[in-house]
Amino acid sequence: MAEKITSRAQDYSQWYIDIVRFAKLADYSDVRGCMVIRPNGYAIWEKMQAALDRMFKETGHVNAYFPLFIPESFIQKEAEHIEGFAPECAVVTHGGGEELQEKLYVRPTSETIIWSSYKKWIQSYRDLPILINQWANVVRWEMRTRLFLRTTEFLWQEGHTAHATETEAKEEVLRMIEVYRHFAEEYMAIPVIVGMKTESEKFAGAHETFCIEAMMQDGKALQAGTSHHLGQNFAKAFDCKFQTKDGSLEYVWASSWGVSTRLIGALIMAHSDDKGLVLPPKLASRQAVIVPILKGDKAAVLEKAVELEKMLKAAGVQVFLDDSEQNTPGWKFAEYELQGIPVRIELGPRDVAAGKCVVARRDTSEKETLEIDTAFPQKIKDLLDSIQTGLFERALRFREEKTKVVTTYEELKAQVEVGFAVAHWDGTPETEAKIKEETKATIRCLPVSKDFATKYGINTEGKCVFSGNPSKQMVVFAKAY
Amino acid sequence: MAEKITSRAQDYSQWYIDIVRFAKLADYSDVRGCMVIRPNGYAIWEKMQAALDRMFKETGHVNAYFPLFIPESFIQKEAEHIEGFAPECAVVTHGGGEELQEKLYVRPTSETIIWSSYKKWIQSYRDLPILINQWANVVRWEMRTRLFLRTTEFLWQEGHTAHATETEAKEEVLRMIEVYRHFAEEYMAIPVIVGMKTESEKFAGAHETFCIEAMMQDGKALQAGTSHHLGQNFAKAFDCKFQTKDGSLEYVWASSWGVSTRLIGALIMAHSDDKGLVLPPKLASRQAVIVPILKGDKAAVLEKAVELEKMLKAAGVQVFLDDSEQNTPGWKFAEYELQGIPVRIELGPRDVAAGKCVVARRDTSEKETLEIDTAFPQKIKDLLDSIQTGLFERALRFREEKTKVVTTYEELKAQVEVGFAVAHWDGTPETEAKIKEETKATIRCLPVSKDFATKYGINTEGKCVFSGNPSKQMVVFAKAY
Ligand SMILES: [Zn+2]
Ligand SMILES: [Zn+2]
């Protein structure tokens, strides 16, 4: 904490980098564009994984693992897919000291290698559905990288499902984008817009892509998760047919969906402040820290601190005690604010004498003095809940302040400088491309969230903000990470 | 289950392949030597990960993630390391459509990339120890592969620790091999010998390698985990020094330790039989299956089956009910025996009328009729415990039957055809190499397990079984996977 965090007002990008570095979340490695996820950052990912994995299992999915390497011929089987991914792949040309006969691509995503297995596993409708998820690393050769948000290698999960009907596949696509929405809002405390991508923004090889879009504190959008309706594209590419109940042969329907360590970047950008990281309690591996003020009757203070720690642990609060004498309480306050510990409990000799302690919440910096009695652990748990919902509400208010319906191109240009612009669009890729070229804003999605659609009157007819041509619904424009 | 599993007696190798394939644990992929870990196999890995991860955290470790790619110049920094690993690496030469200036090796193990970070993180004794673990995939270009046991890509965990003193590093090495022993014996139900590798068998770049060695049902050894004392080798390679308390500069001491998906292969080979997989209850994601016999009063049977399932779940048993009418009870019995579900509960109309059910244990095929009363869930839990310990005891008896102290070279040659040979060795790599060449058996380890050492009189002096020269202790010879 010798160095000071750059303020958001001064330089938002540098602020982000400072948080990541000073809170020891990640480092660039000596390999171009690849990051080291440090223990503080990885602890957040573990919390995310645990919550998501439970939700995947509750919705009937199982985990499996497919190879890191994809033969070049596989990548080439789906035309849009090769066009989208081949240019950004890392390619293995040598193995075991010899040049390979066929190049191997390090997976940028696993549709092709997984469908080459599904082809072997699926013969009949009895083999369907297949509901598999994989936790894995993937590699995409990025030109400009940013820790967590865009790195050459990142960690993610990718669900890959196979179905007998298009209806079932589409249901799965929407079920999983809803799982992501729930996770973003309930765990990350980040409000998101569920929507559909335009043709030019959808996944290479998908029929439709659904996404959740979040707003960061600089008003930019961040795509936090996607769920793809793949139609029969990959089944056709791998000639994967199944025998239906009535004996005919049909191609299998598919979905795929994923979220990645990019979510950690979203989490940082959504909630943190100029003092450091702010973590929602549900994703904090350390929810509370006890800092004893070791003056006067040190032994009494320490004894009480240990008692508090036990009491809170027994109640299920993930608490730890920092009783080191190497650092001052003031240093510890700053350090744990930087690290985003949601609750700090201060305990001095006078507090101990009075049977009380001082409790500070990280999100608002509010402090209160609480009596240490049997109700104390529940009060801390209530406080953690209140921080969790408070963060969500603050982020929602912020998004609502920075989201405006615009009816002219001038308004749109101004609005995408500060937040989200909701506007009519004529549905053509030409208009989309022109607006992107001139404003650097993209269509984030065609919103499908009911609350959002109702609030902004998304599903009304009107005139395109750019061309003046008829438009059937409004879309969200924003600059994006 | 249309195809029949080859018996162990007929063809042990084919038996293993049949179990892996028929129980749907893994498949070869279309990428040379790489496997697909199917949901049934991955579920075992998840159970292993959960138990190990908890033990790592209880011993003070945290998780992190380092890059998949290692610059060629890093691999070359430690002389023994490059010699050991470079020939079996996959090499990335192109990224983002261009030829790379420096080749990137896909990690075969992460000492070098991790120590390039540690060098940045460590300045003073205050930064030590670093106790980090990583869950990751690694690639080693293997010539002959076998599912789980030896594949080009595999999943593992690798601990990498940094210490201020050699004593601390050595303590860590022994602490972690003890964690592995505990895991192998208590969770996998496999007795292991803890020992030290000879110079020729140790990890490339290590000062000393400790291992746990298990016996498979064909009498061969399988190395199930290793813990390396790396000395200051990697600190020197990466010029990683720290300031000691008294102000001098010293190189950092290191350990590394790992287990991999190879453990799944060990688990299969140690316990399974000619009917299929046998799983210890602690590593079974499904510990019990309820198979209702749907004849007569189907509704009453189903109702009772659902009640049983609830009762057992409430007691913490991981149970599931197969009430499908598509397959016969007989088909289900065979299928769940194949899949290694530890306990099967059969429930027919007469059982329901009598308030009883039939309980079959997978390991011994014993059946008993149990009353369905309030004590029932505890009886199932006791049965699971009894299966867990029973498997360990059976494996231990087997190992003891197949382990012999030998005093002549002829005896050694005969013994390594059926199991482990405990013998005096003169300590020279020449003798070791000769024996290996002539018998295909290697020195598995210099045992340090007290119980094993005492039982076989390991720490006595004698004469080398091959050269007749003086020997200070006995070692274990065996053929190995
Ligand atoms: Zn389409
Ligand atoms: Zn040595």
Whether A68 sits inside 8 A of B113 (CB atoms) is no
Nearest-by-CA chain A residue for B38: A64
Closest ligand to B209 CA?
2
Measured between CB atoms, does A106 come within 8 Å of chain B?
yes
Separation between Cα atoms, residue A144 and residue A95, nearest integer Å: 29
What ipTM, to 2 d.p.? Answer: 0.96
Residue A266 half-sphere exposure toward CB, CA atoms < 13 A: 29
Dihedral (CA of B245, B246, B247, B248) sign: negative
Query: What is the CB neighbour count within 10 angstroms for residue B249?
Result: 8
The whole-angstrom distance between B45's CA and the closest CA on chain A is 10
Separation between Cα atoms, residue A218 and residue B157, nearest integer Å: 39
Chain A hits for B50, CB-CB cut-off 8 Å, are: none
Whether B30 sits inside 8 A of A71 (CB atoms) is yes
Beta carbons of A222 and A444 less than 8 angstroms apart:
no
Chain B hits for A63, CB-CB cut-off 8 Å, are: 39, 42-43, 46
Measured between CB atoms, does A374 come within 8 Å of chain B?
no
Beta carbons of B352 and B304 less than 8 angstroms apart:
yes
SS3 content of chain A, % helix, strand, coil (to 5): 40, 30, 35
Residue A441 half-sphere exposure toward CB, CA atoms < 13 A: 28
* Residue B417 clears pLDDT 80, i.e. is over it: yes
Q: Where are the domains of chain A?
A: 12-271, 288-383, 406-479
Walk along chain A (481 residues) and give the pLDDT tens digit of each residue: 457 999 999 999 999 999 999 999 999 999 989 999 999 999 999 999 999 999 999 999 999 999 999 999 998 888 787 888 888 999 999 999 999 999 999 999 999 999 999 999 999 999 999 999 999 999 999 888 999 999 999 999 999 999 999 999 999 999 999 999 999 999 999 999 999 999 999 998 899 999 999 999 999 999 999 999 999 999 999 999 999 999 999 999 999 999 999 999 999 999 999 999 999 999 999 999 999 999 888 999 999 999 999 999 999 999 999 999 989 999 999 999 999 999 999 999 999 999 999 999 999 999 999 999 999 999 999 999 999 999 999 999 999 999 999 999 999 999 999 999 999 999 999 999 999 999 999 999 999 999 999 999 999 999 999 999 999 999 999 999 9
Between the CA of A207 and the centroid of ligand 1 the distance, in Å, is 4
Separation between Cα atoms, residue A66 and residue A106, nearest integer Å: 12
Q: Identify the CATH number of the domain defined by range B406-479.
A: 3.30.110.30
Nearest-by-CA chain B residue for A104: B31
Whether B63 sits inside 8 A of A92 (CB atoms) is no
Separation between Cα atoms, residue A216 and residue A12, nearest integer Å: 11
Q: Identify the CATH number of the domain defined by range B288-383.
A: 3.40.50.800
Interface test with A, best of B24, B27, B34, B36 (most A CBs within 10 A): B36
Chain B hits for A71, CB-CB cut-off 8 Å, are: 30-31
pLDDT tens column, B147-203: 999 999 999 999 999 999 999 999 999 999 999 999 999 999 999 999 999 999 998
Q: Which of B68, B92, B152 sits opposite A137 (nearest CB)?
A: B68
Separation between Cα atoms, residue B221 and residue B119, nearest integer Å: 38
Sorted by sequence, the CB contacts under 8 Å of residue B152 that are 6+ apart come out as A95, B31, B32, B33, B34, B90, B139, B140, B141, B142, B145
Q: Identify the CATH number of the domain defined by range A12-271.
A: 3.30.930.10
* Residue B205 clears pLDDT 90, i.e. is over it: no
Q: What is the mean pLDDT of chain B?
A: 96
Beta carbons of B415 and B421 less than 8 angstroms apart:
yes
Nearest-by-CA chain A residue for B133: A39
- Among candidate residues B195, B199, B151, B147, the one with its CA nearest the CA of residue B174: B195
* Residue B78 clears pLDDT 90, i.e. is over it: no
Whether A104 sits inside 8 A of B97 (CB atoms) is no
Q: Which of A38, A95, A97 sits opposite B64 (nearest CB)?
A: A38
Separation between Cα atoms, residue A232 and residue B273, nearest integer Å: 41
Least confident of A377-381, A465-469, B3-7, B225-229: B3-7
Beta carbons of B458 and B199 less than 8 angstroms apart:
no
Whether B42 sits inside 8 A of A62 (CB atoms) is yes
Measured between CB atoms, does B123 come within 8 Å of chain A?
no
Interface of B with A in 55-84 (CB under 8 A): 62-71, 74
Give B21: exposed, middle or buried? Use CB within 10 Å, 0-12, 13-18, 19+. middle
A·B CB contacts under 8 A = 155
Amino acid B143: pLDDT: 84
DSSP count for chain A of H helices, then E strands: 15, 25
Amino acid B2: pLDDT: 53
Would you give the DSSP letter of residue B419?
S
Q: Which of A30, A155, A326 sits opposite B71 (nearest CB)?
A: A30
Instruction: List residues bridging with A344 in a β-sheet.
Output: A289, A360
Between the CA of A200 and the centroid of ligand 1 the distance, in Å, is 10
Measured between CB atoms, does B30 come within 8 Å of chain A?
yes
Amino acid A2: pLDDT: 53
Peptide bond into A129 cis (omega under 30): yes
pLDDT tens column, B277-305: 999 999 999 999 999 999 888 999 999 99
Interface test with A, best of B25, B27, B29 (most A CBs within 10 A): B29
- What percent of chain B clears pLDDT 90, i.e. is strictly above it? 94
Whether B63 sits inside 8 A of A71 (CB atoms) is no
Interface of A with B in 304-343 (CB under 8 A): 326
Mean pLDDT, range B352-366, rounded to an integer? 97
Between the CA of A445 and the centroid of ligand 1 the distance, in Å, is 15
**A221 φ, ψ (degrees, to nearest 5):** -90, 150
Measured between CB atoms, does B141 come within 8 Å of chain A?
yes
Between the CA of B208 and the centroid of ligand 2 the distance, in Å, is 6
